[in-house]
Structure 1
């Protein structure tokens, strides 16, 4: 049995697919990942022996610019990604395909290829914020904006679907026509399906009541990491009390200006050393102080367990990794689902939601003061025992069962 997994997005979108691919392989099936050809992602997948088929442009070429992408950029990228999915997924499927699972930035085009092949399709998400709901407004999306006076959620979500059609509709229906398929008039709901999967921990991201769709919650897809920490980092960690870790992952141009300087000052205000994760934002030491160590790509599962607190942007993957490590968090939300994760960490009592995306030395000092309190650490360690790590295995079983029940060649397992 062979399944195709696809995404276009940040590290937080690609690493869970690697975890799922490994879990699929552990069940005796084959998984191939179609994802952006960023060097970081290629190295990640190569490390776990999962084939990568390049899809679309690199993410870094879009986001790692002096300014964040604009709405105009989105209207160029959206149809290009749709065309890439039609072309790439169809080509990969010529070697056999029993199911297609898609995630990441609105994966329009993936379901259509699966439909043409006659195989199951699953949409997976890492949070519920983009799913239509009677309980909250849709997030911001390029296209014709809703009126600031509109308060009816049903109307707002209808307008959200219209914005998705503006971005993706023409390209999707052009691709469908080329495959001999009829057009669709609501791309968003077509991509989501009535039964998407939620690849998030039930404690960190409870699904009940968040959407009217029939969510299947598998738990977070966590890729085990047994890599040793670099020697220099181990020596730094062994040389004193646990440091504060600060990193903003793939945020690149979204990362707050001057955040490294503010973070170093805040850590020092509490007598703490600091580890800066350079990430795509290129965080760097602000002086030659021996109390600061800069790391690149590293085993965060191991590093976070040795930190006093973790300051980060609130991506789903980083939030889950820190929660599983039992370390207090300070979340500085910048875009998308990050404000949700910040509020959830605060609600659980395992960290602090920073007020706004532009931290100062003073605001980070205050936030760290709360996060470093003994009671928060104790609560974080308690919650860590309840955060599940088997989501990828659960999802792999469901996906292979779905493929087999639909006529996939399960006899090849």
Structure 2
């Protein structure tokens, strides 16, 4: 089985695909990964060759002129062009393409042209049209004021996708002799998308429009040791609170307000600089700055995890049995924050931008003994076989 894995996004989009690629290889198959060039080290660690797609995503998100909603049409056209260029080359000789990340609108067309199978995988349920949920925010046509009809809202969501992707997609399809696509979103998703998310964290009640196949989250095993200086900090006192915002832009003054809130709760702090550029606010010996490290080794040793609510960080913290505080910014992050609160394994901050003192109540909830007990209990239910389930499903496709 030769699998081409395609995604465009930040680490939360790329690492699960690398995890599936690693598992496919362990089971005797071959995998290739099309993703932004930022993740060459990650691909090497997974043992999957990287076909770089486009310019660095970090530059796109955090450059001197980061992308805005007004750039969405140009971004969509560029994304489709990247897919037709890179995926067409990487997928030669493959049996199946698995696509995820920001709307892989061109990827199914490549599979169609090559005559190979195609799977669309989601790492959160919020993008899948269903009567129990409203669409996530996208640039484009606004929802009518006061509109509550779910079918109407999902129809508008499809129109938004078409407005961004249909014209450039159909131009590329015509160039390779394929007929035009009318509904880009449903074409990309297919009638049977995969949901690669932890079932406890992301329950799926079903949808009359799609036959969703669940696999569980795709987790890349990480055996990297923690740095010696981080080990020394952990060993020097009580468990600290971890603070990180992953790949997103942090709200103004986020590091200071969070560190002060953690100190007010009488805890030490680990600050992950990340792409958000967080940093300790002084040289106090109760605060330690780190770069990217093994969360699977670190999280079991902290008192709580304060983060942006990405699917990967939420799942890793839940798996470690550590309470969480989610400061959601956009996209699927409010969903994960709501799930953390609903499960009683932490709290979610009200709104994306903390103000003085606003983190205190959420942090106190997370640090309460009952929350830690609940987080430890939920950790026992977290599945770790998602990549195995997915790899076996791919193998069964023949």
**TM bucket, shorter chain:** over 0.9
Matching of residue 345 in structure 1 with residue 356 in structure 2: no
Partner of 1:372: 367
* Counterpart-to-counterpart distance in 2, 1:257 and 1:68: 16
* Residue aligning to 2:31: 31
Cα offset, 1:277, TM superposition: 0.6
Q: Separation in 1 of the partners of 2:364 and 2:136?
A: 31
Partner of 2:98: 101
| Cα distance per residue 1:332-359 (max 9 Å; x no partner) | 1100001110010111110001111112
TM, length-normalised to structure 1: 0.94
1:312 corresponds to? 307
Q: Aligned-pair distance for 1:360?
A: 3.2
In the alignment, what sits opposite 1:409?
A: none
Shift of the alpha carbon at 1:264?
1.0
Q: Is the 8 A contact 2:91 2:97 kept in 1?
A: no
Separation in 1, partners of 2:337, 2:207: 17
Matches within 5 A, 1:273-352: 273-352=268-347
Look up the match of 2:185: 188
- Could you tell me how far apart the structure 1 residues matched to 2:100 and 2:198 are? 17
1:20 counterpart residue number: 20
Aligned to 1:143: 140
Distance 1:262 1:56 in 2: 36
Answer whether contact 1:343 1:353 (CA < 8 A) is retained.
Answer: yes
**Contact 2:46/2:220 (8 A) holds in 1:** no
SS of alignment partner, residue 142 of structure 1: coil
Q: Deviations over 1:119-139 (max 9, x none)?
A: 110000011111112222212
Distance 2:63 2:44 in 1: 27
* Higher RCO by CA contacts (8 Å cutoff, separation 6 or greater): 1
Contact 2:21/2:46 (<8 A) preserved: no
Runs of 4+ residues deviating >3 angstroms: 65-68, 209-212
Q: Secondary structure at the match of 1:56?
A: coil
8 A contact 2:327–2:348 mirrored in 1: yes
Give the CA deviation at 1:211.
6.4
| 1:149 positional shift | 2.9
Residue 82 of structure 2 corresponds to 84
The one-character-per-residue Cα deviations of 1:239-261 (angstroms, maximum 9, x if unpaired) are 0000000000000x3x1111110
Q: Name the counterpart of 1:132.
A: 129
**1:385-411 per-position Cα deviation (integer Å, ceiling 9, x unaligned):** 100011011101111221x1xxxxxxx
SS of structure 2 residue aligned to 1:305: helix
- Asked if 1:175 is matched to 2:163, the reply is no
Q: Deviations over 1:260-281 (max 9, x none)?
A: 1011111111110000010101
SS of residue in 1 equivalent to 2:171:
helix
1:236 is matched with: 233
Matched, 1:250 2:247: yes
TM-score by length of 2: 0.98
Where does residue 73 of structure 2 map in the other structure? 75
State the distance in 1 between where 2:324 and 2:123 align. Answer: 19
Secondary structure in 1 matching 2:55: coil
Who is 2:197 aligned against?
200
Residues 19-46 of structure 1 show CA distances to partners (whole Å, capped at 9, x for unaligned) of 00011001101000000111xx111111
CA shift, 1:210, in A, is 5.6
Partner residue of 1:395 out of 355, 380, 390: 390
**Post-superposition offset of 1:361:** 4.5
| Contact 1:263 1:361 (C-alpha < 8 Å) held by counterparts | no
Count how many residue pairs are aligned between Structure 1 and Structure 2: 398
Q: Which runs of 5+ in 2 are unaligned?
A: none
Q: Structure 1: give runs of 5+ residues left out of the alignment.
A: 405-413
Task: Return the alpha-carbon distance in structure 1 between the equivalents of residues 142 and 370 of structure 2.
Answer: 44
The secondary structure found in structure 1 opposite 2:390 is helix
Retained in 1: the 8 A contact 2:206–2:212? no
C-alpha distance after superposition, 1:280-330 (max 9, x if no partner)? 011011011010000001001111100000000000000000000000000
Aligned-pair Cα RMSD in Å? 1.2
Q: Is the 8 A contact 2:59 2:66 kept in 1?
A: no
d(CA) in 2 for partners of 1:400 and 1:360? 51
